[in-house]
Chain A
Amino acid sequence: MIKLAPYLAYAKKCFLGRSAYRFDHLMNILSTCLQIFIFWGIYHALYGENTEVDGITLPMVATNFVLSMGLGAVFSTNDYFFPDKIHDGSIATELLRPISVPGRMIAENAGNALFNLIFRFTPALVLSILIIGISAPAGVGMFILFLISVLLGYGVLWAISFSVQMTAFWFVNVWSITTIKNVFINVLSGSMIPLWFMPGWMKGVLYLTPFSSIYFTPVQIYLGQLTYQEIALKCAVQGMWIILIYLAGDFLWKKGQKKLVVQGG
C-alpha cells in the first residue's frame, strides 16, 4: 500500500516554497502572456483577410496557443531536479528517505503544477480571453474529457522529463540532452506551430510520437474536433505513452542505482 502523507508533505513544501519569489512570479505571468500574444500576432498577420485556412479559423489557432502555451506554463517541470542531485552528491540524502524517489519527483512537480495552475495559468488565461478571445469549449461533456486528457498529457510530459533526467546517472551533465528534448516538445507538440498546418505526411508521423498527445490531443477535444470514438482512442494512446516512457525511465533508475557514484566524499 502506498502511503501518501510523505508525498503530500513534499508537494505542500514545494507549493509554499514557490510563493517566496514574488518578482520572479510576476515575470513568469508576463512571459507566458507575451509568448501567447506574439504567436497570436504572427498568425493574425498571416491570416490577413482570410477567415479560415484549410478549415481552421483564427480563433481556433488562438485557442491552440492559449491552451497549449498556458498549459506549458503549468506543466513546466524542473528538468534538473535529479541531475543536480547527482551532480552535487545530495542524491545520497534522497536515498536515505523511506520513500520512492520517482514518487517524490511526482509530488514536487504536482505541487509546482498546482501553484502554476492557480497563480500563473489563470491570470494568463484571463488576460488572453480579455485581449484576444478564445473559442468556447464544444460542450460540457467535451470540457470534462478535455480535463481528463490534460491530466494524461501532463503525465506524458512528466514521463519524458523523468526518463531524460535519469540519464544523469551516466552523463552527469544533461544540459544538452534536456535542451534537445525541449526543442522537440516545443516544435513537435503543436504548441508553436499548430499540427493542423503540418504537411499531411508529417502529421501522420507526429501522431505516432508521444509529442502530439501532450497538448494537441486536449486542444482537439476542447474544440470538438474529435468523435467520442477518436477521443477514447487518443486518450488510450496517451495512457500507453505514459506507461511506456515511465517504464523506460524506471529501467534507467533501477540500473543507474547500481552504478551510482556519490560525488564529493
Chain B
Amino acid sequence: MDFIEVKNVSKVFRINRRKSGVTGMLANLFVPKYEKKEAVKNLNFSIGQGEMVGFIGPNGAGKSTTIKMLSGILFPESGEITVGGFIPYKQRKTYVGSIGVVFGQKSQLQWDLPVIDSFELLKAIYRVPEGVYKKNLDRYTGMLDMGGFLNQPVRQLSLGQRMRADIVAALLHSPKIVFFDEPTIGVDVVGKETIRNFIRDLNRQDHVTMIFTTHDMQDIEKTCDRLIIIDKGSKVYDGTLPGIRERYGTTRQLDVEFVEHKEVAPIPKVEIIELDNNKKRFVFESHEVHINELMDHLLSHYNIRDINISEPEIESIIRKIYSGEYL
C-alpha cells in the first residue's frame, strides 16, 4: 500500500440557493432551498513516500477540499483515505502532529505577535524538542532569508514575508508530509522563485512527501515530477509533466518565412494561417503529419528564408484541459 491512498472519495456540500433581491430574501427566509454540490466525486489516487506531486485544477475543482480531507479537517462523504497508516479524519489529533499544511490564503500565525513568538507557541503545541526546534529554525530561516523580520509583528509583514513565515511555521515540527495550498499566491516573481527553490530542496534533501496546489504552472514545472489534474471534482490526468505533452500536446506549429510572397497550395491535415505578408503558420498534429515530410515538401517547392518549430506551452495545454476541449 502506498503512503497516501485515496479511494473512491466523494464530498458533498449543501449550498443555500437564494434568489437575489428582497423577494428572494423573504422566500429564502420561509422556504430555504438547498442544492447539493459535489465538490469531490469518486476521486482515486495514491502517492508514494518522498514524492512531490502537483495538484492542479481550475477554481472550484475540489483541490482545497481534497487537501482539507487529506489533512484531517474535513470528513469525506464516502470512500477511504489513508495517509502513512492513519485515517486522517478519524485520528486527527495524533495524525496532524506528523503533517504540515500551508494555506496561502489563511495565515496560521498570531496576527499581533512577532513571528518568533508564533514559532515558540508552535514549538510548545507540537512539543518540538529544543534542539530540533533550533536546528529547523536556523536552517529554514536561513534558506528563506528571514533573519530580518523574525521580530516584527505579523500584521506588519509584506505578503511575501508572511508567506515565508507561514511556510517555516508549518515545518518546525519536521513533518513527514507537507501540503502546500497555493503557497505562491500573490507573491512577486523573486519571492516565488525563493519559495519554489526551497520546496524543491526540501523534497530532494529530506525526502518529505509533498502535495502542491497552485494556479501557476511555473510552480509545477520547477518543482514537481508528477502532476494530478482534477476538474469538477474528478481526476482528469495523473502522470508526469512531459507525459502531459505527449498525451495532449501533440499539436505542433511551424512558422515559415518565405523569400517572396507566394500562394501555398493546400496540404492535407495541415492548417495554414496567414501571418505577415511573407510569413505563414502551419499547424498540425504530430501523429498525423510527419514533420520531415512537411519540411521536405516546403523546402523543395518554395524559397524559404527562416523556419521555426514550436510546441504548445504547458500553460495552453492546461487551459484547453480546463475548458473541456480534450474531454
Interface residues of A (CB under 8 A from B): 3, 5-6, 8-10, 13, 17, 20, 89-93, 95-100, 257-262, 264-265
Interface residues in B56-105 by Cβ distance below 8 A to A read 64, 68, 71-75, 89, 92-97, 99, 101, 103, 105
B91 to chain A, nearest CB (A): 10
Whether the pair B127, A5 counts as a contact (CB closer than 8 A) is yes
B46 to chain A, nearest CB (A): 23
Residue B36 CB within 8 A of the other chain: no
Q: How far is the CA of A261 from the CA of B13 in the complex (A)?
A: 8
Which of the 9-residue segments B118-126, B194-202, B232-240, B277-285 touches chain A?
A: B118-126
Residue B108 CB within 8 A of the other chain: yes
Most buried by A among B89, B92, B95: B92
Residue B135 CB within 8 A of the other chain: no
Whether the pair A6, B127 counts as a contact (CB closer than 8 A) is yes
Whether the pair A99, B105 counts as a contact (CB closer than 8 A) is no
B13 to chain A, nearest CB (A): 6
Whether the pair B124, A9 counts as a contact (CB closer than 8 A) is yes
Residue B145 CB within 8 A of the other chain: no
| Residues in B neighbouring A89, C-beta threshold 8 A | 106
Interface residues in B26-40 by Cβ distance below 8 A to A read none
Whether the pair A96, B93 counts as a contact (CB closer than 8 A) is no
Q: Which of B68, B75, B121 contacts A9 (CB 8 A)?
A: B121
Whether the pair A262, B126 counts as a contact (CB closer than 8 A) is no
Given A98-B94, A98-B96, A264-B105, residue A5 in contact with residue B124 (CB < 8 A)? yes
Count residues on chain B whose CB falls below 8 Å from chain A CBs: 28
B28 to chain A, nearest CB (A): 15
Residue B112 CB within 8 A of the other chain: yes
Q: Whose C-beta in chain B lies nearest to the C-beta of A3?
A: B127
Given A6-B125, A9-B121, residue A265 in contact with residue B92 (CB < 8 A)? no
| Residues in B neighbouring A6, C-beta threshold 8 A | 124-127
A111 to chain B, nearest CB (A): 12
Q: Which of A9, A17, A90, A265 contacts B125 (CB 8 A)?
A: A9
Q: How far is the CA of A93 from the CA of B100 in the complex (A)?
A: 11
Whether the pair B125, A262 counts as a contact (CB closer than 8 A) is no
Whether the pair A93, B127 counts as a contact (CB closer than 8 A) is no
Given A260-B73, A264-B105, residue A99 in contact with residue B121 (CB < 8 A)? no
Whether the pair B127, A95 counts as a contact (CB closer than 8 A) is no
Q: Whose C-beta in chain B lies nearest to the C-beta of A9?
A: B124
Q: How far is the CA of A264 from the CA of B124 in the complex (A)?
A: 28
Whether the pair B73, A97 counts as a contact (CB closer than 8 A) is no
Interface residues of B (CB under 8 A from A): 13, 64, 68, 71-75, 89, 92-97, 99, 101, 103, 105-106, 108, 110, 112, 121, 124-127
Q: How far is the CA of A10 from the CA of B124 in the complex (A)?
A: 9
Whether the pair B103, A93 counts as a contact (CB closer than 8 A) is yes
| Residues in A neighbouring B89, C-beta threshold 8 A | 257
Whether the pair B125, A98 counts as a contact (CB closer than 8 A) is yes
Q: Which of A10, A96, A258, A265 contacts B101 (CB 8 A)?
A: A96
Q: Whose C-beta in chain B lies nearest to the C-beta of A17?
A: B112
Can you list 15 A-B contacts (CB < 8 A)? A8-B124, A10-B125, A13-B121, A92-B68, A96-B71, A96-B108, A98-B93, A98-B97, A99-B125, A257-B75, A257-B89, A260-B73, A260-B75, A264-B106, A265-B105
Q: How far is the CA of A6 from the CA of B97 in the complex (A)?
A: 12
Q: How far is the CA of A92 from the CA of B65 in the complex (A)?
A: 11
Q: Whose C-beta in chain A lies nearest to the C-beta of B117?
A: A13
Q: How far is the CA of A60 from the CA of B259 in the complex (A)?
A: 109
Q: Whose C-beta in chain A lies nearest to the C-beta of B72?
A: A95
Q: Whose C-beta in chain B lies nearest to the C-beta of A88?
A: B106
A sample of 9 more A-B contacts (CB under 8 A), given A6-B126, A262-B74, is A6-B127, A13-B110, A13-B121, A92-B73, A93-B106, A95-B72, A99-B93, A257-B75, A262-B68
Whether the pair B13, A97 counts as a contact (CB closer than 8 A) is no
| Residues in B neighbouring A9, C-beta threshold 8 A | 121, 124-125
Q: How far is the CA of A260 from the CA of B105 in the complex (A)?
A: 19
B197 to chain A, nearest CB (A): 25
The 7 A-B pairs with the shortest beta carbon distances in the complex, nearest first, are A9-B124, A98-B97, A6-B125, A95-B73, A258-B75, A93-B108, A98-B96
Whether the pair B73, A96 counts as a contact (CB closer than 8 A) is yes
| Residues in B neighbouring A258, C-beta threshold 8 A | 75
Q: Which of A92, A257, A260 contacts B106 (CB 8 A)?
A: A92
Whether the pair B64, A265 counts as a contact (CB closer than 8 A) is yes
Whether the pair B73, A262 counts as a contact (CB closer than 8 A) is yes
Q: How far is the CA of A91 from the CA of B13 in the complex (A)?
A: 17
Q: How far is the CA of A96 from the CA of B126 in the complex (A)?
A: 11
B253 to chain A, nearest CB (A): 37
Q: Whose C-beta in chain A lies nearest to the C-beta of B71?
A: A96
Whether the pair B73, A90 counts as a contact (CB closer than 8 A) is no
Q: How far is the CA of A90 from the CA of B73 in the complex (A)?
A: 11
Q: How far is the CA of A171 from the CA of B74 in the complex (A)?
A: 18
Whether the pair A96, B96 counts as a contact (CB closer than 8 A) is yes
